[in-house]
Amino acid sequence: MVVLPTEAIGSIPRSSALMQAQRRFKEGGIDAAQLEAAYDAAVRDTLRELEATGSPIVTDGEQRKAHSFATYSVEGGENFAPDGLEIPFSDGHVRRLPRLTRGPFHFMRSAAHTLAQARPRTRLPMKQAIISVSAMSLFYPAEPLADYPREAFLDDLVDEQEREIRDCFAAGAQTVQIDFTEGRLALKIDPSGSVLDSFIELNNRVLERFTHDERCRIGIHTCPGADHDATHSADVDYAELLPSLFELEAGNFYIAMTREADPERALKIVARYLKPWQRAFIGVIDVIDPRIETPEQVCERVLQAARHIPLDQLGTTDDCGFSPFCDDVSTPRATAFAKIRARVEGTALAAQRLARGERDE
């Protein structure tokens, strides 16, 4: 018998009712209690729809992350300005990170809090996605803050994320996934690799605080971005990132793959650098393409990966979250759930064929 685990990345397009409630709250048309009710309804609907896809493990779809997967921890913070680092995307639009204006740094909201609110809504195991310390390190301004040096900020940042991960486990997370989409972007910012090396080192400062068994329940997600059907670093050669990626002391890796020009080459690199105790969840769903994959297409992608990666170290996932920013309506919710169902069914189909000794040729 072959069992291939399959997991979503995290974000699901926000429901139209939730987006409307967010707009009305901002305009003063509803109060905080009504907005909270809209969040709760969106989470319940998301979990119900994910259960219906056959997913063995679910997320809350990041419905409660009011703006984005990257900034939920500091939204509402009074020591931030909106004019931080700009991240350009391939279609010309730009996302901008917040800029820290003074210390100390503390999370305004932990992902463990949103998990705790969702956990009673499903009987299935849950995973929780969180943003990486390396992404949040970009909040610190280029000019050092006089009373809060960068090293003090990084120390606080590492402490905060360790606490967040532990709190997620305490709140019932089976796995915690660290979103590391800035990994590939780091090589675009600095082709020498020094920024990437610093990101790896910073994330390992968090991971080394956990036991081996705990790290086996922590994962790393990498992709070239997926916002309004555009990417921020797809033009960076995966071969420059993947060897360093597996130096992160995590047990699971969620790796975008479907849009690679040469997935065979990338899979060979994954297989070469994947450590014996690590598992590679290979992206088999293109979250940018509006066409819904068939289970048979997914199956073929899984079989291709299985030619290179040992079955006991292989899993499947989507290339990215479907709407990591709350204003991204490029993918309808129904499309996202249909794609997830195709991943679940296609992975099961591949497991059956692999149990019969088949491989993609």
Has residue 90 got a pLDDT over 90?
no
The pLDDT, as a whole number, for residue 2 is 86
Residue 230's pLDDT band, with cuts at 50, 70 and 90, is confident
| Cα–Cα distance for residue pair 11/144, rounded to 1 Å | 34
Q: Is the peptide bond preceding residue 295 cis, with omega within 30 degrees of 0?
A: no
Question: By the 8 A CB rule, do 214 and 174 touch?
Answer: no
Mean pLDDT for 117-136 is 96
Mean pLDDT of the chain: 94
Which domain CATH number covers 52?
Answer: 3.20.20.210
Q: Classify 129 in phi/psi space as left (phi over 0), alpha (psi -120 to 50) or beta.
A: beta
> Comparing C-alpha atoms, which of 293, 303, 305, 304 is closest to residue 338?
293
**For the chain, how many structural domains are there in total?**
1
Residue 360 lies in a domain: no
Mean pLDDT for 40-54 is 97
Residue 65's pLDDT band, with cuts at 50, 70 and 90, is confident
Has residue 147 got a pLDDT over 90?
yes
Share of the chain above pLDDT 90, in %: 82
In sequence order, the β-bridge partners of residue 285 are 318
Residue for token digits 């399959």?
Answer: 6
Residue 16 lies in a domain: yes
Model confidence over 190-204: pLDDT tens digits? 999 999 999 999 999
Has residue 125 got a pLDDT over 90?
yes
Residue 1 lies in a domain: no
> Comparing C-alpha atoms, which of 115, 152, 157 is closest to residue 135?
157
Q: Say what the pTM is.
A: 0.95
Question: By the 8 A CB rule, do 84 and 138 touch?
Answer: yes
Residue 276's pLDDT band, with cuts at 50, 70 and 90, is very high
Residue 361 lies in a domain: no
Model confidence over 279-294: pLDDT tens digits? 999 999 999 999 999 9
The pLDDT, as a whole number, for residue 329 is 79
3-class SS at 253? strand
What domain range is 72 assigned to?
6-355
> Comparing C-alpha atoms, which of 228, 94, 96, 248 is closest to residue 183?
248
Residue 303 lies in a domain: yes
Higher-pLDDT residue of 192, 234: 192
In sequence order, the β-bridge partners of residue 99 are 81
Q: Where are the alpha helices (H) located in 133-211, listed in sequence order?
A: 133-137, 150-170, 182-189, 194-207
Residue 178 has phi, psi (to 5 degrees) of -95, 120
